[in-house]
Amino acid sequence: MNADQQQEHTGSYYAATANERTNYPRLAGAVSADVCVVGAGFTGVSAALTLAERGYSVAVVEANRVGWGASGRNGGQVINGFAGHDKMAKKYGAGVEETLEAIRWRGHELIRDRVSKYSIDCDLKDGFAEVALKARQFRILEEYFEEREKAGFPHRYELWDRDKTCEMFGTDFYHGAFVCYRDGHVHPLNLCLGEARAARGLGVQIFEQSPVTHIEHGARPRVVTANGYIEADSVILAGNAYSKLEPKHLKNLVFPASSYIIATEPLPVELAQEINRDDVAVCDVNEVVDYWRLSADKRMLYGGACNYSGQEPRSIESYIRPRMLEVYPQLADVKIEFEWSGKIGIVLNRTLTVGRTGKNVYYCQGYSGHGVSASHVMGEILADAVTGTMERFDLFAGLKHIRTPGPRWLGNQLVALGMLFYRLKDKL
């Protein structure tokens, strides 16, 4: 990892409204623990908290700050499911249906339980709407609704036709919505910081500004940084799109793609009410999505325009604002106060990559932009695995993945090409 990756938080709305500025020590000298976790995003913190709750000694080592990566700068949409559910259902058949269905929602349970148990102040709210951008996409939403009906889904969900969608969102841009109130939205950085604080309270050692340079494998692997190391029975790698560790095993499995978000100034109460009556998170059903929600102080947080090629736009605002104004021309005079980007971990077959790089070094990466809830359950699944309960881990680890040949930039260009196909499909 380069020195330039030891950074403070990005200039996001979340960093500006964070409940705390963490200042955990840098790793220096030798530390010993049952489990060492690399990366303090949702995956790493969730694994650490699960293990600490079970009585294990844990050390977390983070290159930058807790929640610095995607976990502290995402759209905050708490959406059920995980990348690759369909492929796993197909591969394993009816025998695992219930397990996969439970995994699909488990992240939500973990988030809600922890918010309540550790009194985490993170603006958690119920409600997430998937919206159709074309009349033909309404059929997709109808199918979601029918699936839930068939399953006897015991939580609130609704299908909104075009008129109702226009009324609820103050725009005629959308052709309908499927709304699930078991999903929701959250201030992700405050959630991550609160979970890390809870873990610290249970004795987890956290080190910040300490990029791991490499792992020395062995009966008790060593996780090495510039000024120290952690020795542990097991290691969990949770660096997702930002990690370059273990290239022999993990290079060219996950490709970083940028997604961009802008935050407006707080909207007048009537305008906020007009554009989102029920204060739900919103995401379209395209392959390459736009997503938005209102913050607790009623700013519009609008994100999207994923960039797979590695070339960053000169101005995020001028890239994203026109997209927002297409949906909401009434925001034309509203000031943009924050803009930022973050890296999504894309996997070619859009399925989480989970496994081991050695007997006792475990990893999970590649949420493909769908990880706020999923990273919570995957943290738990990694914690299970290092303590010997392998059932759920093995389901993921049994999947095959494609590694592109050559350097990473070439892989990124291949992903960009693939996504161009999906973008064109979205447009048609």
Max intra-chain CA distance, the chain = 63
Size of interface with ligand FAD, in residues (CB under 6 A): 45
Estimate the crossing angle of helix 188-201 against helix 42-53, to 10 degrees.
30
The interface mask with ligand FAD, positions 207-226, x = CB under 6 A, is: ----xx--------------
Q: Which stretch binds ligand FAD (CB under 6 A): 136-144, 173-181, 369-377, 402-410?
A: 369-377
Q: Which helix (H) or strand (E) holds 365?
A: strand 361-365
Q: Which helix (H) or strand (E) holds 340?
A: strand 336-347
Tally the residues of the chain: 428
Within 10 Å of residue 285's Cβ, how many Cβ atoms?
19
SS3 assignment, position 364: strand
Q: From the list 87, 112, 134, 343, which residue makes contact with ligand FAD (rule: CB under 6 A)?
A: 343
359-387 in b/e burial notation, b at 16+ Cβ within 10 A? ebbbbbbbbbbbbbbbbbbbbbbbbbbbb
d(CA 343, CA 415) in angstroms, rounded, equals 14
Q: From the list 342, 382, 399, 411, which residue makes contact with ligand FAD (rule: CB under 6 A)?
A: 342
d(CA 186, CA 373) in angstroms, rounded, equals 11
C-beta nearest to ligand FAD: residue: 371
Q: Please say which residue, 19 or 330, places its beta carbon nearer to ligand FAD.
A: 19
Binding of residue 6 to ligand FAD (CB under 6 A): no
Shortest Cβ distance from residue 338 to ligand FAD (Å)? 12
Q: Which stretch binds ligand FAD (CB under 6 A): 34-42, 89-97, 128-136, 388-396?
A: 34-42
Binding of residue 232 to ligand FAD (CB under 6 A): no
Q: Please say which residue, 17 or 330, places its beta carbon nearer to ligand FAD.
A: 17
Under 8 Å between Cβ of 42 and 111: no
Nearest to 399, CA basis, from 44, 38, 83: 83
Shortest Cβ distance from residue 96 to ligand FAD (Å)? 23
Binding of residue 384 to ligand FAD (CB under 6 A): no
Residue ranges in 50-109 that form contacts with ligand FAD under rule CB under 6 A? 61-64, 68-71, 73-77, 79
Residue ranges in 248-287 that form contacts with ligand FAD under rule CB under 6 A? 259, 261
202: which DSSP letter?
A: T
Q: From the list 27, 36, 115, 245, which residue makes contact with ligand FAD (rule: CB under 6 A)?
A: 245
Q: From the list 127, 369, 384, 386, which residue makes contact with ligand FAD (rule: CB under 6 A)?
A: 369
10 phi and psi, to 5 degrees? -65, 165
d(CA 12, CA 80) in angstroms, rounded, equals 25
3-state class percentages of the chain: helix first, strand second, coil last, to nearest 5: 40, 25, 35
Q: Please say which residue, 162 or 350, places its beta carbon nearer to ligand FAD.
A: 350
Binding of residue 351 to ligand FAD (CB under 6 A): no
Shortest Cβ distance from residue 365 to ligand FAD (Å)? 7
The interface mask with ligand FAD, positions 301-320, x = CB under 6 A, is: --x-----------------
* Phi-psi group of 120: left, alpha or beta (phi > 0 → left; psi -120 to 50 → alpha; rest → beta): beta
- Beta bridge partners, 294, equal 300
Under 8 Å between Cβ of 292 and 302: yes
Shortest Cβ distance from residue 152 to ligand FAD (Å)? 25
d(CA 95, CA 424) in angstroms, rounded, equals 37
Q: From the list 18, 31, 37, 38, which residue makes contact with ligand FAD (rule: CB under 6 A)?
A: 38
Q: Please say which residue, 360 or 365, places its beta carbon nearer to ligand FAD.
A: 365
Q: Which residues bind ligand FAD (CB under 6 A)?
A: 1, 38-44, 61-64, 68-71, 73-77, 79, 211-212, 238-243, 245, 259, 261, 291, 303, 342-344, 367, 369-373, 375
